[in-house]
């Protein structure tokens, strides 16, 4: 497929200049401005993973990757919020049709939340009483629905899955039932508004809970055969690649006009800068190529067979992690090449540096992923439930 002509990609390109122009406002306000969120919503960015039957985009992963990459290049925080919102939409494919319609049927609805099982769910008639607190709820201030993982406890003991892990489905809450706790004072991705959220003895109907480990999707399109955690990792990597592409562009613009202290030549003429630029370009393009290759192979399997094998799932996670780390390394080179200019708040290179090093901390693309994929490559038995 030629993804460059997809209307969502065109929409992301159109939005890019406004996101760039208002990056300072986004960072200082610690949230993407609501009018820009509205534009993203109207363009369908947050509904890329919602089934077409519900009015969503149900796009192929390569389109999602490209959209998030473009938005991440314009502004890392906006790209991140788009990633969280659209991947949260995958949950709509797991819900009963009437429930999915009630939650995701409104085209203005944005959902978000946290997978981490930081809550506790007590079974009760028709559902659960849920309490808990979750960190890193990105974009919480523009979400109508929020979710959090909660361990089901029976008689004071966690319910266990067949693999011995606690049964901790995602619980969906209307935003009005959720307390937002202002915690987002951080180094990078400051504009994502990723505050803590909490609920206190909230009733959640059983049909508003989904286990991404034991439940199977109800939607039958190939997108829902794609591993949820793999698609989340792909989205994270896409944002990282966009940030790195922005950093390279900023360094190129800077290098043509800056004459470093003690030098008679502009930065672009210095061999060190030339090497750093080449290394950064190679890191981004090679990481990106592997990511698209793995995503395309998994997508082909999903379309042909309705399922994606373990090796392909491992490749997606490996490629996403590798691309994210490569993007961070590329940004580091551009930041260093910029010299003292890079440290000023007025220079986008310092924002790229801070943003990309927050992206690398996400569990789905952390270096520990290499242990999981390495065990599979070496034929060592491992639990791949979260792959």
Which H, E and C letters describe 195-241, residue by residue? EEEEEEEEEEEHHHEECCCCCCCCCCCHHHHCCHHHHHHHHHHHHHH
Quote the pTM value: 0.96
Q: What Rg value do the Cα atoms of the chain yield, rounded?
A: 21
Strands 145-154 and 111-124: parallel
Contacts of 268 (CB under 8 A, 6+ apart): 252, 255, 256, 274
Question: What's the Cα-to-Cα distance from 105 to each of 59, 113, 303, 314, 350, rounded to whole Å?
Answer: 17, 18, 25, 33, 40
Q: Token pair of 283, please?
A: 């890191």
We find that the CATH architecture of domain 226-377 is Up-down Bundle (1.20)
Element of type H or E holding 157: strand 157-158
DSSP letters, 249-264, are HHHHHHHTT---TT-S
Q: Tally the C-alpha atoms within 13 A of residue 83's C-alpha that lie toward its C-beta.
A: 36
Calculated CA dihedral for residues 225, 231, 234, 238, nearest 10 degrees: 110
Kindly list the domain boundaries of the chain, sorted by start residue: 3-93, 113-210, 226-377
Query: pLDDT tens digits, the chain, 387 residues: what are they?
Result: 444 479 999 999 999 999 999 999 999 999 999 999 999 999 999 999 999 999 999 999 999 999 999 999 999 999 999 999 999 999 999 999 999 999 999 999 999 999 999 999 999 999 999 999 999 999 999 999 999 999 999 988 999 998 889 999 999 999 999 999 999 999 999 999 999 999 999 999 999 999 999 999 999 999 999 989 999 999 999 999 999 999 999 999 999 887 766 566 789 999 999 999 999 999 999 999 999 999 999 999 999 999 999 999 999 999 999 999 999 999 999 999 999 999 999 899 999 999 999 999 999 999 889 999 999 999 999 888 888
Q: What CATH code would you report for 113-210?
A: 2.40.110.10
Fold of 3-93: Butyryl-Coa Dehydrogenase, subunit A; domain 1 (1.10.540)
Compute the Cα dihedral for 20, 26, 139, 108 and give only its sign.
Answer: negative
């Amino acid at each position: 497929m030629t993804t460059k002509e997809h209307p969502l990609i065109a929409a992301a390109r159109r939005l890019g200049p406004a996101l760039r122009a208002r990056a300072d406002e986004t960072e200082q306000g610690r949230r993407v401005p609501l009018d820009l969120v509205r534009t993203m919503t109207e363009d369908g960015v947050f509904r890329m993973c919602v089934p077409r039957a519900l009015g969503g985009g149900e796009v192929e992963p390569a389109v999602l990757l490209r959209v998030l990459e473009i938005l991440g290049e314009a502004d890392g925080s906006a790209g991140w919020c788009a990633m969280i919102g659209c991947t949260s939409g995958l949950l709509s494919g797991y819900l009963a049709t009437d429930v999915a319609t009630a939650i995701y049927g409104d085209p203005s609805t944005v959902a978000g939340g946290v997978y981490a099982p930081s809550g506790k769910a007590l079974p009760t008639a028709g559902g659960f009483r849920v309490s808990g607190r979750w960190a890193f709820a990105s974009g919480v201030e523009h979400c109508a629905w929020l979710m959090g993982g909660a361990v089901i406890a029976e008689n004071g003991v966690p319910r266990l899955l067949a693999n011995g892990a606690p049964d901790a489905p995602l619980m969906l809450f209307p935003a009005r039932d959720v307390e937002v706790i202002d915690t987002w004072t951080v180094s990078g991705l400051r504009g994502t508004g990723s505050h803590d959220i909490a609920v206190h003895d909230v009733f959640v109907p059983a049909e508003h809970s989904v286990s991404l480990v034991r439940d199977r999707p109800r939607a039958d399109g190939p997108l829902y055969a794609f591993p949820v955690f793999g698609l989340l990792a792909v989205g994270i990597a896409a944002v990282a690649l966009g940030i790195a592409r922005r950093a390279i562009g900023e360094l190129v613009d800077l290098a043509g006009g800056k004459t470093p202290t003690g030098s008679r030549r502009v930065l672009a003429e210095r061999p060190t800068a030339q090497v750093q630029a080449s290394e950064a370009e190679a890191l981004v393009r090679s990481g990106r190529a592997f990511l698209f290759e793995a995503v395309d192979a998994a997508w082909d399997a999903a379309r042909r067979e309705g399922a994606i094998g373990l090796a392909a799932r491992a490749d997606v996670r490996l490629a996403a992690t590798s691309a994210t780390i490569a993007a961070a390394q590329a940004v580091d080179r551009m930041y260093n090449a910029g010299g003292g200019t890079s440290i000023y708040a007025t220079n986008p290179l310092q924002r790229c540096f801070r943003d990309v090093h927050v992206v690398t901390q996400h569990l789905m693309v952390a270096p520990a992923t290499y242990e999981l994929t390495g065990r599979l490559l070496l034929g060592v038995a491992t639990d791949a439930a979260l792959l």
